[in-house]
Amino acid sequence: MRKVAVVGAGKTPFGAFAGRDLRSLAVEAGEKCLANAHTQPGQIEAFYLGNFAGPSFAGQNHLAPYISTALGMRGIPATRFEAACASSGSAFFHAVSSVAAGLYDTVMVLGVEKMTSQPTGRVTEILAAAGDCSGEIAAGSTFPSLFGMIARRHMHDFGTTREQLAAVAVKNHENGLLNPDAHMRKAITIEQAMNARPIAEPLGLYDCSLISDGAAAVIVTAADNASEYTDKPATVLGIAQASDFLALDEKEDITTFPAVRAASRKAYAMAGMRPADIEFAEIHDCFTIAEIIATEDLGFTVRGNGGPFARSGATRRGGEKPVNASGGLKSKGHPVGATGVAQICDLMQQIRCEAGPRQLARHAVGLAQNLGGSGATCVVTILGAAR
């Protein structure tokens, strides 16, 4: 297998953009990405699209050629990948694998979602279709309530507290305040987070990520060709995708995600690295409890210690393991199909030293963790500065 490099990245701001449609967001991200890689549509040999629910949110299916042709790429294989909130992480995994295997030299991966044109209740319904609709969802669950149960169990088993959950929210809002492309740029205090309106107890308003519009794109190529596109490439050191049951009730234990463990162990093995080698991470904080559990499943801290780890400041920008310096899904926003590729864009900004006031001291090796549903899909990527 060949080494693969990311040589271009582009994204839209995340937010609620009345009057912008899905395709215009995707085209903006794609064109920024092409410009960032100093290349043209004609150089792209395949188009990998991540999108969760374009038909339901935006009334448009068959989205891959719809977007690729608008970007001036006619004729090439153009395919949509759907894996719930890990849709574009999965598209990125398949694109990197294809280039590594020599199927293509240069491909574009783009993630997009346009969510805010639907009322919130309908958004919740559309998102719930990523759970088991004949079981847990039919019984009345929503994603906030599923993660509420996960949080409650984590509290029960490990003594995790509301304050520790709040620490995740406060940190991510603090980081997002410095991100000009973030959806919600607003500092909050531990007290505000703890006393916020309950959504699905023990989760309150600030424990939940945002409903956003946005798109993100990257170009990947064989590492040997990277200098044709950029003098600041990043290398994919490790990557893996894993799966698990959709329904919480099929799992032995809801306080850990086997797909996160499996994907990260494979990605670490591919990179020849241990968790301690990761200098910073973008983690799928769809809910604050998800970030806490991910820090455990990724091996950043031991099982059950994710709460104290968050509260200790270890995951803040100046801490030992900065997590979600971008603001995360909490503050940057979570247009679900865009999130996986947006995480790769965020890693690129840090690796390229282009993160402005959010720039981390140690930024040579970053990890992205993209979760689908309540853990049925996970993609983990380890990206490093090209040496």
Interface residues toward a copy of itself, by CB under 8 A: 1, 21, 23, 47, 52-53, 55-56, 59-66, 68-69, 73-84, 90, 93-94, 97-98, 100-103, 126, 129-134, 240-246, 250, 258-259, 262, 372-373, 376-377
Nearest approach, Cβ of residue 357 and a copy of itself (Å): 37
CB of 380 to a copy of itself, least distance (A): 12
* 1, 100 contact by CB (below 8 A): yes
SS (H, E, C) 148-201: HHHHHHHHHHHCCCHHHHHHHHHHHHHHHCCCCCCCCCCCCCHHHHHCCCEEEC
CA distance readout (Å), 366 to 126, 252, 358: 32, 31, 14
Nearer Cβ to a copy of itself (201/250): 250
Between CA 378 and CA 271 the distance in angstroms is 17
Residue 36 or 221: the one with the smaller Cβ distance to a copy of itself is 221
Choose between 144 and 204: whose C-beta lies nearer to a copy of itself: 144
Give the Cα separation of 274 and 299 in Å (integer).
Answer: 8
Q: From the CB of 365, what's the least distance to a copy of itself, in Å?
A: 23
Least distance between a copy of itself and beta carbon 82 (Å): 4
DSSP 23: H
Q: Strands 198-200 and 203-204: what pairing?
A: antiparallel
User: What does the alpha-carbon distance between residue 19 and residue 370 come to, in Å, rounded to a whole number?
Assistant: 28
CB of 151 to a copy of itself, least distance (A): 21
Asked if the bond preceding 202 is cis, omega within 30° of 0, the reply is yes
Nearer to a copy of itself, 14 or 47 (CB): 47
Residue 169 to residue 157: CA distance in whole angstroms: 22
8 A C-beta contact, residue 205 and residue 165: no
Most distant CA atoms of the chain, gap in Å: 56
Query: So which residues are the catalytic ones?
Result: 85, 334
3-state secondary structure of 290: helix
CB of 251 to a copy of itself, least distance (A): 10
Using the minimum distance from each CB to a copy of itself, give the nearer residue, 81 or 206: 81
* CA separation for the pair 82, 25 (Å, rounded): 18
Decide whether 53 or 368 has the Cβ nearer to a copy of itself: 53
DSSP symbols for 295-353: HHHTTSS-TT-HHHHHHTTTTSTTSSS-B-TT-HHHHT---HHHHHHHHHHHHHHHHTT
